[in-house]
Amino acid sequence: MIEIKGISKSFENKDVLTNIDLNLERGKVNMIIGKSGAGKSVLLKCLVGLFDIDSGHILYDGRPFSDMGYQKKKEIRKEIGMLFQGSALFDSKTVLENVMFPLTIFSEKSQEEIKERALFCLRRVKIEEQANNLFPAEISGGMKKRVAIARAIALQPRYLFCDEPNSGLDPQTSIVIDNLIKEITLEFDITTVVISHDMNSVMEISDFISFIHQGQKWWEGSRDDILTSENKEVVDFVYASNFMKAVRESFKKK
């Protein structure tokens, strides 16, 4: 479980996050949604320690991550897997080497065992064996995301962070990635945090949703709650498209 207690962050006197409280539970897909520029990505970067927060606390299963020094943070980071918006695969390494990389650095296992674990992770995300020796530039966007997920789970993380996992993907591939995130969350019983704009993802896989607006936590609840919410900003964001408006109407009729 990740507890966020009253965190704030500003850049050059501009408040980006203001007094955010959140509890992100284990074994669930916790979605953070909001408009572009609302502060979602900054919140994610604060959570993983890429940005230092100005005030408040972030606790990973009771451990005060935000108050720790570099070395202690490093220990918690080994329990974190992250899927970046652009996948962030190492372009000088092959698909297999990318997944083996965290294991090579942190695992005391033999090279053979490391390779076996990496191959298991790649099979888990349904990457065909022929792709293992290709470089990131030679594979599709959807495959890159799957390889990034394989790399993120290689060290059996306790926490998985996904920054807009569906950006730039077609609807069919988006569903594959969404389902993979959901399955991995349940299979490994990890705390998953997903930043997304994609309402399909929100309705498909979220267990808990937080809506960030103007750097503040504006609303939180479940999938069903969001369909019946009367909060103006939430309604404007979620039902921006005619399709979603139709979904809301049919839900109300039921």
Partner 1 sequence: MSIFSHLGKYYILMAQAFAKPDKFKVVWKRVIDEMEAIGVGSIPIVAILSIFMGAVTLLQMAYNFSSPLVPDYTEGLATRDTMILEFAPTIISLILAGKVGSSIAGNLGTMKVTEQIDALEIMGVNPQSYLIMPKMVAALCVFPFIVIVSIFLGTMGGYLASLLTGVVSIDKYVYGIRYDFEPFYITYALVKAEFFAMIITSVSAYQGFITSGGPKEVGDSITRAVVYSCIIILLFDLILTQLLLTA
* Interface ranges with partner 1 (CB under 8 A): 48-50, 74-75, 77-78, 80, 82, 84-86, 88-91, 101-102, 104-106, 155, 161
H/E segment holding residue 163: strand 159-163
Least distance between partner 1 and beta carbon 136 (Å): 10
Least distance between partner 1 and beta carbon 233 (Å): 29
The residue (of 84 and 135) whose beta carbon lies closer to partner 1 is 84
Relative to beta strand 191-196, strand 29-33 is: parallel
Give the three-class secondary structure for 103. Answer: helix
Least distance between partner 1 and beta carbon 2 (Å): 14
Euclidean distance between CA atoms 83 and 212, whole angstroms: 20
Question: Amino acid identity, residue 187?
Answer: E
The residue (of 58 and 226) whose beta carbon lies closer to partner 1 is 58
Q: Answer positive or negative: Cα dihedral of 77, 82, 86, 92.
A: positive
Point out which residues pair with 212 in neighbouring strands. 217
Rounded to 5 degrees, φ, ψ at 24 are -105, 115
The residue (of 115 and 213) whose beta carbon lies closer to partner 1 is 115
The residue (of 151 and 217) whose beta carbon lies closer to partner 1 is 151
Least distance between partner 1 and beta carbon 64 (Å): 17
Nearest to 147 by CA among 132, 169, 168, 162: 132
Euclidean distance between CA atoms 254 and 251, whole angstroms: 5
Residues 6 or more apart whose Cβ sits within 8 Å of residue 29: 181, 182, 185, 192, 194, 205, 206, 207, 208
The residue (of 9 and 213) whose beta carbon lies closer to partner 1 is 9
The residue (of 110 and 242) whose beta carbon lies closer to partner 1 is 110
Nearest to 181 by CA among 155, 228, 148, 214: 148
Instruction: Take residue 88 and report the two structure tokens written for it.
Output: 């962030």
Least distance between partner 1 and beta carbon 162 (Å): 12
Least distance between partner 1 and beta carbon 163 (Å): 9
> Is-contact 23 4, C-beta < 8 A?
yes
The residue (of 16 and 82) whose beta carbon lies closer to partner 1 is 82
Least distance between partner 1 and beta carbon 102 (Å): 5
